[in-house]
Amino acid sequence: MAEEKGLARARAVYRNRRHRAEELKAAGKKVIGYLCAYPPLEMMTALDIVPFRLLGDINEPISKADSCLPSVVCPFIRSTLDLGLKQRYEFLDGVVMAHSCDVAEKTAHIWNIYLKPDYFHFIDTPHTAGPSAVAQHRGLLAAFGKTLEELAGKKITTRSLKEAIKLHNRQRALVRQLYSFRKPDPPLISGVETLQVMVALMSLPVTEGNELLEEVINEVSRRQDSPPQKKARLLVWGSILDNTSLIEMMEGLDASLVMDDTCVGSRFFWPDVELTEDPLDGLARRYLVDVKCPRTFRQTNDGGKTKDYRADLEARFGYLKEYARDWNVQGVVLQSLRYCDIHGYEVPQVKDYLKGLGLPSIYIEHDYQQTAMAPLKTRIQAFLEILDRG
């Protein structure tokens, strides 16, 4: 694998995520699994611990998780726990999970009980983004730092944390640069390739991820075999997409996926961490306020005192308008995993906001199963037919 470079390396890591993590572990590194976009990676990097994103597997039927989780909850988290129960994450030194949503919170504790990891930490991330919530979040991150320091047998210093923040901000800047190659028509990198790179970044230490990004950017910027031009340019919004199959289906039709607002994508990487004097202040703010997942309740900037519905929508979804403009988006696919209530609550308003922009959208729910793509294909194809004639 070491000989492969750029997109080929990203694809190889995407297909065998644990390979590099296991090598690092054999070389004496500690590797910690994290769920969702909320545990601050910089704190692990500062202690030379490798963060490794916990993901599911849509090709693996869920057979063990249903004995300890209800079947009517997020199929991604059920799949992830199922993999844990099947010893697919046994190489990890432990896990950190956050209260990203209720299912993640319950699953964190279920994981701890059933899998008894050597290291376990739970961050009770607040669900609002006001000043008191940020202050509380800062305290929670300080407590996370303490257990990490015990695990690593050394201290996080201001300097090491600032260095880690710079490395991760560098990664974010490179990801934004990579996404800019999706602005031309046709884009220089497909949605499928982009997702493979994003998954690879979440499976590698930050320095190796940054090297990979530099290779990919170099390759893509001069490539002759860029994706073909398609009729429609789409943005995908919503629940986690950690597998390329849904995007492959869309790009197999006459559409290019040119932008995303999902958490193995822009939602995870977009905002930088501000280098504050005490780095925890910047981390607390970035991970709670700046990561735009609907798991956090947001109000208009005045704290919801006015009842201006449009201003509220603008404050919450204004970034989508910029994405649509800058990436020349013609239609938006709002997708949610079945039973994802946090995205379900958001759909009517995000749909209404997009309607106000004159941007067509379609809402689909899916089951986190490779086999269930045909009915979704009909919906996407009909949506493209509407766009084509619009």
Partner 1 sequence: MSKAKGHFAGIDLGSTMTKVLLIDGEGQVVARRHGPTGAEHRRLANRVMAQALEEAGLSLEQIDYIVATGYGRVNIPFADCEVTELSCHARGVSHLFPRARTAIDIGGQDAKALKIKNGRLIDFVMNDRCAAGTGRFLEVTAAALGIKLEDMGRLSLEATESVKIGSTCTIFAQQEIVGLITAGKPLPRILAGLHEAIARRVLEMARGLEIEADVVLTGGVAQNEGVVRAIGHNLGGKVLVPDEPLYSGALGAALLAGDMASKASANGAAVPGRERRLEAARLYEDLED
Contacts to partner 1 by CB under 8 A: 365, 372, 374-375, 378-379, 381-382, 385-386, 389
Q: Is the dihedral of CA 227, 230, 232, 236 positive or negative?
A: negative
Q: Which of 134, 253 has the CB closer to partner 1?
A: 253
Give 212 or 376: the residue with its C-beta nearer to partner 1. Answer: 376
Cβ atoms of 95 and 35 within 8 Å: the answer is: yes
Classify each residue of 276-300 as buried b or exposed e, where b means 16 or more C-beta atoms within 10 Å of its C-beta.
Answer: eeebbbbbbbbbbbebbbbbbebeb
* Alpha helix segments (H runs only) across the chain: 6-15, 18-26, 41-45, 75-85, 102-115, 131-152, 158-180, 191-201, 206-221, 245-252, 266-269, 279-285, 309-326, 341-357, 374-389
Least distance in angstroms from the C-beta of 16 to partner 1? 24
CB of 356 to partner 1, least distance (A): 15
Residue 131: CB atoms within 10 Å: 9
Which amino acid is located at 212 in the chain? L
52: number of CA atoms within 13 Å, CB side? Answer: 28
- The β-bridge relationship of strands 119-123 and 49-53 is unpaired
Least separation in angstroms between CB 385 and partner 1:
5
User: Smallest distance from the beta carbon of 384 to partner 1, in angstroms?
Assistant: 9
Minimum separation from the CB atom of position 143 to partner 1 (A)? 42
Q: In what order do the strands lie in the sheet with 30-34?
A: 49-53, 30-34, 94-98, 119-123
CB neighbours of residue 385 within 10 Å: 13
Residues 6+ apart with CB under 8 A from 263: 36, 37, 240, 293
Closer by beta carbon to partner 1, 254 or else 290: 254
Q: How far is the CB of 382 from partner 1 (least distance, A)?
A: 4
Q: Which is nearer to partner 1, 110 or 253 (CB)?
A: 253
Q: In the complex, what is the shortest distance from the CB of residue 253 to partner 1, in angstroms, rounded to a whole number?
A: 10
Taking the C-alpha atoms of residue 376 and residue 378, their distance in angstroms, rounded to an integer, is: 5
Name which of 153 and 375 has its Cβ closer to partner 1: 375
For residues 150 and 385, which CB has a smaller minimum distance to partner 1 in the complex? 385
Query: At 24, is the secondary structure helix, strand, or coil?
Result: helix
Query: Which CB sits closer to partner 1, 321 or 338?
Result: 338
Q: Which is nearer to partner 1, 41 or 387 (CB)?
A: 387
Q: How far is the CB of 362 from partner 1 (least distance, A)?
A: 8
